[in-house]
Structure 1
């Protein structure tokens, strides 16, 4: 006969040591103690002891998950992976997750919306990039799509414009053509659609006066000239430099003026 002869509380923990027939048998979480009504004098059989051990493992996994969630919100997939990596069995982990979801500690729908808002504000990502982030977190397709639906076209346009304006400021030594290419590359990389990209580019007004063009071509033209002067000369050199500058968005009259200055210099 297996009888609980003593129960003691562990130091600084909500766990209890269970003694059977005056010998230490196992320890349990307070929730397990209450659930099974473990008290001094209670008789246990082998099946009950196995059941208690299984339930206590769930309690441990649950508490471990809570510690993960204390620092930041996490998806169901992330919690499952962390618990599996911590050595808990699949069935124990699933039970712990169900308990977390029932108590409202784990909710992928709320998590998805929170992640979406964070990515919009901190990294200014577009829907396609955020979708990739949600997929990495193991969010189900329907939950993911529901969250992304809240990211309106107007919001995307406003955030994309902020990125475009920042790109303009960071590329003051570039031509309008080069800047627009930079804007396109940035927005595509950030996960915005071509519709958003094209609308932003249509709205951008990037003009240069003659003085600004002269400064730009002085910077870029010298680099290109020095690049080709080692390989070509005469008309062939001028043609190569002219083609390169034109591709970068310099007007022909500005290019001709630059080349003329080079010849006379």
Structure 2
């Protein structure tokens, strides 16, 4: 067998695809290709090809995943997308994800719990919006629902705390300011009822003299 081409990846300049005249192909980092002394037109034995496909490619993909994860906590979906972008085959990606999940280097439950806890503390928003964000990161619905059930966040309490943070400096509340408060909470995913209750609890009885009905939304 003979190596017919070594093509650099368009998505990742550190990677290249090696093609063999028997139809086999694989991707590896350019540095690893050089270390293995793989060059165009070089003959390659079946035993060597089998070793590369079984061990070298897997090791390279796993190392890339670990390096990606070392920067910050990631979801399994994010790691999959990273490896896919680098050109690795689905079978290799699936094995890497499975092996890293087995040793809990990837843990979508922990990611979801940490994400909700940090967002609730640093940049509060409704649990509905947080769930949508987790879904966009590839977290399965069952994990999101299980995490929410376990943490049991209080949306009404969060909405009220947001109002306190942003509007405590005001002593009087007119229609214009109340409209801003409603829009502010709505932008963070809170429902009509949650917004109404939070505003009712936040505004002091003597803070708004006109007929104010928080149900008018």
Match of 1:53 in 2: 52
Task: Give the distance between the partners of 1:117 and 1:100, measured in 2 at CA.
Answer: 24
What are the equivalent positions in structure 2 for 1:43-82 lying under 5 Å apart? 46=46, 48-54=47-53, 55-82=55-82
Looking at CA atoms only, which structure, 1 or 2, has the larger radius of gyration? 1
Rounded Cα–Cα distance in structure 2 between residues aligned with 1:91 and 1:174:
63
Corresponding residue SS for 2:80:
helix
In the alignment, which residue of structure 2 is the partner of 1:96?
96
Distance 2:100 2:67 in 1: 12
Within-5 A mapping of 1:204-215: 204-206=202-204, 207-208=206-207
Q: Deviations over 1:15-71 (max 9, x none)?
A: xx67xxxxx579xxxxxxxxxxxxxxxxxx61x423311221111111101011111
For residue 174 of structure 1, report the CA deviation from its aligned partner.
6.8
Distance 2:197 2:94 in 1: 47
**CA distance change for structure 1 residues 150 and 60 in 2, over 3 Å: closer, same or farther?**
same
Counterpart CA distance in 1 for 2:156 and 2:77 is 32
Question: C-alpha separation between the residues in 2 aligned to 1:166 and 1:104?
Answer: 37
Alignment CA distance shift 1:141-1:114 (3 Å): same
Provide the TM-score with structure 2 as the length reference: 0.69
C-alpha distance in structure 2 between counterparts of 1:72 and 1:66, whole Å:
10
Find the residue that maps to 1:157 and give its secondary structure.
helix
- On the 8 A contact 2:160/2:201 being kept in 1, the answer is no
Q: What is the correspondence of 1:170-209 to structure 2 with a 5 Å cutoff? A: 172=170, 175-206=173-204, 207-208=206-207
Contact 2:113 2:151 in 1 (8 A): no
Distance 2:99 2:121 in 1: 32
**Aligned residue in 2 for 1:238:** none
Does structure 1 retain, via aligned residues, the 8 Å contact 2:77–2:137? yes
Q: How is 1:1-265 mapped onto 2 (pairs within 5 angstroms)? A: 46=46, 48-54=47-53, 55-152=55-152, 155-169=154-168, 172=170, 175-206=173-204, 207-208=206-207
Higher relative contact order (CA 8 A, sep 6+): 2
- Sort the Cα spacing of 1:175 and 1:96 in 2 relative to 1 into closer, same or farther, 3 A: same
Structure 2 residue runs without a partner (length 5+)? 1-30, 40-44, 213-217
Q: Is the 8 A contact 2:171 2:207 kept in 1?
A: no
Cα distance, 1:146 vs. partner?
1.1
Instruction: Name the structure with the higher helix share.
Output: 1
Whether the 8 Å CA contact 2:76–2:107 is kept in 1: the answer is yes
8 A Cα contact 1:112 1:139, kept in partner: yes
